[in-house]
Amino acid sequence: MNLAELNKVAVAMVAPGKGILAADESSGTIKKRFDGIGVESTEDNRRDYREMMFRTNEAMSKYISGVILYDETIWQKAKDGTPLVEVIRKSGAIPGIKVDEGTKPLPNCPGELITIGLDKLADRLPKYYDQGARFAKWRAVIDIAPGIPSYTAILTNAHALARYAALCQQAQIVPIVEPEVLMDGDHDIDRCVEVTEFVLKETFQQLYYQRVPLEGIVLKPNMAVAGKKSAKKASVQEVAEKTVRMLKNCVPGAVPGIAFLSGGQSDEEATAHLDAMNKIGNLPWNLTFSYGRALQAAPQKAWSGKSENVAAAQRAFLHRAQMNGLASLGQWKSDLEKKAA
C-alpha cells in the first residue's frame, strides 16, 4: 500500500469547492427514477443519461471532484466509442466504483440489514483499478425504529465496512466509508445524533482493528436530521450545529474529508445544510457533498429521455453542482436559487 498516493487521491476527492457525484444507482433504483420521468430503463438510456452529465464540462471541471459509478457503467463506452471512465478523467474528475452488492436481512435481527459483497472483493478490486477506478464505495444501512438499531447490526455493519476499507487500500483504491443512518422514521434530530454517534464510534473502532490508515479514506455519513415522519422538524442552523458537534465527537482529524450523503433531503435542503456547516468553520476536515438525488433530480426531470432536452438538463446539473460547490465553501445564498429559477 502506498499511503501517500491514497492520501493524495482522498484529498483531491474533498478539494475545496468540489464534491462527488454519486451516479451509482443500482439497476432497480435507476428504473424507479426513470419510471418517474417516463423513460424506459434500457442499457443505452442509462448510458446516454449518465454520459450527458459527464459531458457537462463546466460542472465536471469546476465543481465535481469524482464520480461513483455502478458496475455496468464503468465498463461502458460513450456514444462516440470513448470509455466513460476516460470522459470523466478528461474533465479532471476521478472515477470511482460502488463495490457492495446490496443488502440482505441480518439473521436474528428483525427489520435490520447487512451489506453483502465481501467474499470476492479482493479479486474484483484489481480489475476496477485497471479500468481506472481510484476510489470505491460501500454503504451500510442502519434504520431507526422501535427497538432498533441493535448493537448486533451496528457492529456487524461496522466490521464489514472496515474489512472493505482494508481490502480497498491493499488494492491502492481509496475507500469511501458510508455508514448511513436512515431518515425514514418518526424520530427527532436528537435520536438521530444518538444513533449516528454510536455507529460512527463503532465504525472507527473497527477501522482501527483492521489497521486502516485514516489518511487514506473519505467518510460519507448522514447529517443529523429528524426522520421524515417526525412531527418535530429541525431548523437549518440546528442541523448544522448538531451535525458538526456529532462529527467532532466521533471523527478523528486524520480523516482528510467528509462527503455527506443527501439521504432523501430535498435538493435545496441538502445544499443549505452543507453551507451552514461550512459557515460555522474551524473544522479539522473538509466538509463537502457526495450527492445522488440532490444533484440529479432536477437534470433527470429536465431531460426526460429526449435528446432535444440535453442542453436544459445540463444547465440544471451545472446549477446544482455550482450551488453545492458554493455550499462546500460556506458561500451559498438562497437567493442564488431564485435567480436560476
Number of neighbours of residue 125 by Cβ within 10 angstroms = 22
How far are the Cα atoms of 83, 123, 132, 273 from residue 129, in angstroms, in the given order? 15, 11, 5, 34
Q: Say whether 18 is catalytic.
A: no
Q: Which of 120, 123, 17, 132 is nearest to 67 (CA)?
A: 132
Q: Catalytic one among 98, 137, 220, 242?
A: 220
DSSP 96-117: EEE----EEEPTT-TT-EEE--
Q: Say whether 220 is catalytic.
A: yes
Contact 190, 227 (CB under 8 A): no
Grid coordinates representing 237 are: 442552523
d(CA 159, CA 114): 11
Residues linked to residue 103 through DSSP beta bridges, in sequence order: 115
Q: Catalytic one among 178, 180, 202, 242?
A: 178
Which secondary-structure segment (H or E) carries 205? helix 189-209
Distance from the first to the final alpha carbon of the chain: 48
Q: Which of 121, 115, 114 is nearest to 97 (CA)?
A: 121
**Residues marked as catalytic:** 178, 220
